Structure 1
């Protein structure tokens, strides 16, 4: 009986020491080391890829899309517009990240795509056949922060007119905020809408 008690006590003591050791290592040391590495090597990514205006005001994250509309929900012509979003009632709701879950042959989706194509063509004053797929289809997350260079290109003239800028100036900003394929072959070229719009607001000419 005494031997069993001593064995149980020894096991309990070893367990408590192991728990304390791993609590310190995994609960304090490891998170601290990862935080120091992140802040030292990748501070922007470690802090959520926050996007700030020229005066330092936080306007969002480069990783999460947002809409650029007025209070009535109409797109603002002076800003590049993102792709559609099915996240939440009005789109781009980070608390309701999702796609529409509608199949490609669903009449509701087909009708929505055609309606969006007509709207984009009229808004950007381009032929409907120039409207790219990402201008009329939502991403699976509903929070995609990027658009294709093709979608950015058809918006250049409209943004330039609304801001009284030369299309060449706007085109140059689009080029500056266009990212290529990751590692040269992964994914597709893309334009970050929020960063581009912040750069437009900061343009001094």
Structure 2
């Protein structure tokens, strides 16, 4: 029986739909699933989960925090690098702040006095780095000082007002404000004067956009004790690794907390350090979760 041309076209489309559904909708997914069940691949297919004492404690591929019930970092564990998404896989991403983001949006002091959070307030990338560096330094017993940061952990940035010359400078300022240090939050600005002009603390609600923004380097060492990955989040916010430098920074604190010689903890760091891929790509890294599990096995905290 010969069908009309228009019907043959529709029947061909139906046959193609059935064949493609069977191949791409059934056979291919089953083949991929079966391949993921092969020995050596099943763990990767399931998310590279890590278990300890019969329970899942995390993934080799996703960073996590090592904090107590109060949210404070636990001294007996190595700490991960910061996360812009609070280590939430559903909120993976970066802050999208760039190197020129150096001026904070100050919180409303009235809300702060009432114990409320100002949703419009925002820290600049510079202040985030400075605050983290200060905290990491204090936690590990080293200096958290770094260039362009105030001793209090804010971005050391001035707004300089006055006549600008053609080269964009203000040789004779009439007013200078430390834009990231608010009145009431600190007692005095990080620097008392700039080019002979007294430096004022910032006031909530004032617009300093017309001033010349001048980051002040300060006298911090060019190579800070706190490494970059301790104060900056990764692009995904979920990096499970830290640099050997950041791991080394934490060795003394972890060893003292657990009551073991630092050399033994350093040995565990070396055992959990992965070299460059293929010997030349990337940088050596330390998987924080694996290192902390190795610590718990070798030197249980008292």
The TM-score with structure 2 as length reference comes to 0.62
Match of 2:114 in 1: none
Structure 2 counterpart of 1:82, from 69, 80, 90:
80
Cα deviation, 1:162-182, whole Å, max 9, x if unaligned, reads 112222221122112111122
Helix, strand or coil at the partner of 1:44? helix
- 2:8 and 2:18 map into 1 onto residues whose CA distance is 15
Please tell me whether the aligned partners of residues 140 and 250 of structure 2 are also in contact (alpha carbons under 8 angstroms).
yes
1:169 counterpart (253, 264, 268): 264
Q: Which has the larger radius of gyration?
A: 2
Structure 1 vs Structure 2 CA RMSD:
1.9
Deviations 1:11-39 (A, max 9, x none): 22222222111111111111121222222
Corresponding residue SS for 2:4: helix
Partner of 1:105: 100
Paired position in structure 1 for 2:190:
none
Instruction: Determine whether 1:146 maps to 2:241.
Output: yes
Asked if the contact 2:260/2:299 (under 8 Å) is kept, the reply is no
Residue pairs, 1:1-205, within 5 angstroms: 6-40=4-38, 41-53=40-52, 55-87=53-85, 91-107=86-102, 108-128=124-144, 129-203=224-298
Cα 1:182–1:67 shift into 2, 3 Å: same
Calculate the TM-score normalised by the size of structure 1: 0.89
More strand by share: 2
Query: Whole-Å Cα distance in 2 between the matches of residues 104 and 147 of structure 1?
Result: 21
* More displaced stretch, 102-111 vs 141-150: 102-111
Q: CA deviation at 1:48?
A: 0.3
Higher helix content, 1 or 2? 1
> How far apart, CA to CA, are the structure 1 residues paired with 2:238 and 2:69?
20
Cα deviation for residue 49 of structure 1 reads 0.5
Unaligned runs of 5+ in 1: none
Structure 2 gap ranges (5+): 103-123, 145-223
- Is contact 2:50–2:57 with CA below 8 Å preserved after alignment? yes
How many correspondences in the alignment?
Answer: 199
- Report the secondary structure of 2:37's partner residue: helix
